Amino acid sequence: MRIDIFSIFPEMFSGPFGASIIKRAIERGLVEIHTHNIRDWATDKHQMTDDTPYGGGGGMIMKPEPIFAAVEAIRGDDPCPVILLSPQGRVLDQQVVAELAAHERLMFVCGRYEGVDERVRQHLVTDEISIGDYVLSGGELAAMVIVDAVVRLLPGALGHELAAAEDSHATALLEGPHYTRPLVFRGWEVPAILRSGHHAQVAAWRRRQSLQRTLERRPDLLATASLSAEERAWLRSQGYTGPFAHDSNDT
Ligand code: ADE
C-alpha cells in the first residue's frame, strides 16, 4: 500500500510513523508513507496557505490552489481515494478502517485553521472522515489515527494475524480481560480457568467475559454482533432488552 499525506505540519508525523507497528510495516515493505508539505505548492512570495474568509467572520481558511496543486502533482491520474480529515466527515469505525485497508493507495488531506475552502471538498476530495464528535486543531492527529488502524490490518503487519481478527470491534464485541505473569500481583490472582489447560473451557470463558463486558460498557454493539441463540438467551437473562441482528448465527 502507498499512503500520501498532505499537511502544513508534515514534521508531526515522524514520531508516530517511526515507531512500533507502522515502523516495522514500512521496513517490511508492506506500506510506503509519504508526507508532503502543502506550503511547497504555494506560489505567492510568502508561500501563504491560508487567507481570510469571504463574507467576514473570524479565523483563516486554507486556500484551494496549493492543496489542488499538491494533490494533483502527487496523484497523477491515479483514481485513488483522496480523504479530507474533518469533523464533518463520516465517523471512523472498524468497518471504515477495513474498507480503507483494501485500497492499494490512499491520500489524506489535513485541514487546519477554521477549515478549508469549500471547493476542495466539492471538487478534489472523494471522501471525508471524522475520527469522532470532537474538534481537533487540525486533521494531522486524525490522519495518524486512521493510518495506524489501517496499517495494522495489512497482512504481515502484526506478525500474528489472528490478533487483528480477535480485536475489540473486529467481531463487534469488546475483548475480555487479559493476564500475564506474575500469577499473583499484590494479592490479585489470575483466574484459575486460564491456567487449567482446558482450551475449550478457556475459549468459552473468554467469550462469556467478552459478552459480559460488551453488555456492561457498550450494549449498543450487541445489536450488530453475531451471536448464538444460547448467547442471546444469556444476554436476556442478564437484563439486555435491546435488539439483535437478523443474521445472527442461530445455533
Ligand atoms: N479535524 C478536526 N477535528 C477532526 C475530527 N474530529 N476528525 C477528523 N479531522 C478533524
Quote the ligand 1 centre to 1 CA distance (angstroms). Answer: 24
Q: What domains can be seen in the chain, in order of their start residue? A: 2-152 (3.40.1280.10), 168-251 (1.10.1270.20)
| The pLDDT of residue 113 | 75
Q: Which residue's C-alpha comes closest to atom 10 of ligand 1?
A: 86
Q: What is the reported pLDDT for 162?
A: 63
Q: CB within 8 A of 72, min separation 6: which ones? A: none
Triad 109, 111, 113: Cα angle to 5°: 165
Mutating to test ligand 1, I would choose from 131, 134, 144, 146 the residue with most ligand atoms within 8 A of its C-beta, which is: 131
Pocket of ligand 1 (CB under 6 A): 85-87, 130-132, 134-136, 139, 142
Question: Residue 144's pLDDT is what?
Answer: 98
Known catalytic residue at 114: yes
pTM equals 0.92
Alpha-carbon 143 to chain mean position: 9
Per the annotation, the verdict on 104 as an active-site residue is no
Residue 161 in 3-state DSSP? coil
Q: Which residues contact 187 (CB under 8 A, 6 or more apart)?
A: none
Q: Is 147 helix (H, G, I), strand (E, B) or coil?
A: helix
Taking only the tens of pLDDT, the chain with its 251 residues reads 999 999 999 999 999 999 999 999 999 999 999 999 999 999 999 999 999 999 999 899 999 999 999 999 999 999 999 999 999 999 999 999 999 999 999 999 999 878 999 999 999 999 999 999 999 999 999 999 999 999 999 999 998 766 676 676 777 899 999 999 999 999 999 999 999 999 999 999 999 999 999 999 999 999 999 999 999 999 999 999 999 997 545 54
Give the count of beta carbons closer than 10 Å to the beta carbon of residue 44: 10
Q: Are 35 and 139 in contact (CB under 8 A)?
A: no
